[in-house]
Amino acid sequence: MSQRDVALDLLKWLALLSMVLDHLRYVGFSVDWLYVPGRLAFPWFCLAMAANLARSGAGTASWRYLGWLLLFSAVSEVPYRLFIPNPVTLNVMPTLVLGLLVARCWQAPTLEARCLAAVALLLAALFSSRLMFGLFGVLLPLAMLLVFRRPWYFALLPGLVCLAANQWRVLYGAAWLGDAVAIWGLVTCLFAPWLGLVILRQAGRVHPPPMRRWAYALYPAHFLLLLAVRQITTGPVLHSI
């Protein structure tokens, strides 16, 4: 259990690093290639969520986890909109909230849990265009949980779900035209769950700092930090990349 906890902390830190690298594209630098490692962030956060659920089961800890996500969903929205030019979706936290609710309720074989999961899926379907990664993003934590203790090749299932969650017309169109960033972005989406499982199963000897509840604040804080960097490097005018 201690090795799994250490590997889980490593996965969370790597997911955070991937997210920051992805968002550096909005600072004003010409670093579009960072889109590729940025595709690791969301599936690895979903895998970390599945790992926590697999460890704690459908207990009270998962409800506390949900409460923290709800709180920082609200806290993060303003920094997110300040940093991202003309956002068309909410920040990623509401997607994770609904995804956690679906996966957690799947663990509890009760009618109430099944109804709650159905409501979460209905909300995700109705407001898919407003959710980052849409309906398939909400399904990704459950897909991760279903294959968590299965052989590595089962990771193809969440890989396909992750690919569907990133089904943006521009991305697929660019890949069809041979754009290298788009092609590698799609490949990364497909194999990100498998790579995350490898980290959880093989990285027990690495000892990163434990990522505790304070880490929730890193999500809104990194938007404010990168916003300050953009203001310093490019001035007050926002640049859409």
Mean pLDDT, rounded, of the chain = 89
Q: Give, for 218, the enclosing helix (H) or strand (E).
A: helix 218-234
Q: Each residue of 192-206: pLDDT tens digit?
A: 999 999 999 887 777
Separation CA 87–CA 26 (nearest Å): 12
Q: Is residue 83 part of a domain?
A: yes
Angle at 129 between CA 127 and CA 130, to 5 degrees: 70
Please state the pTM of the whole predicted model.
Answer: 0.91
Contact 206, 7 (CB under 8 A): yes
Q: Each residue of 46-84: pLDDT tens digit?
A: 999 999 998 876 566 678 888 999 999 999 999 999 999
Q: Give, for 215, the enclosing helix (H) or strand (E).
A: none
Closest CA to 170 of 158, 159, 185, 190: 185
Which structural domain range is residue 27 located in? 2-234
Separation CA 13–CA 208 (nearest Å): 8
**What is the tally of structural domains in the chain?**
1
Backbone angles phi, psi at 88, to 5 degrees: -105, -10
Q: Is residue 23 part of a domain?
A: yes
Q: Is residue 16 part of a domain?
A: yes
Separation CA 38–CA 35 (nearest Å): 5
Q: Which two tokens stand for residue 163?
A: 């690919």
Closest CA to 192 of 45, 8, 78, 81: 45
Q: Is residue 240 part of a domain?
A: no
Q: Which two tokens stand for residue 80?
A: 């997110």
Q: Each residue of 147-185: pLDDT tens digit?
A: 998 998 899 999 999 999 987 767 888 888 899 999 999
Burial of 202 (0-12, 13-18, 19+ CB in 10 A): exposed
**133's torsion region: left (phi>0), alpha (psi -120 to 50) or beta?**
left
Q: Is residue 142 part of a domain?
A: yes
Q: Is residue 239 part of a domain?
A: no
Q: Is residue 241 part of a domain?
A: no
Q: Is residue 85 part of a domain?
A: yes
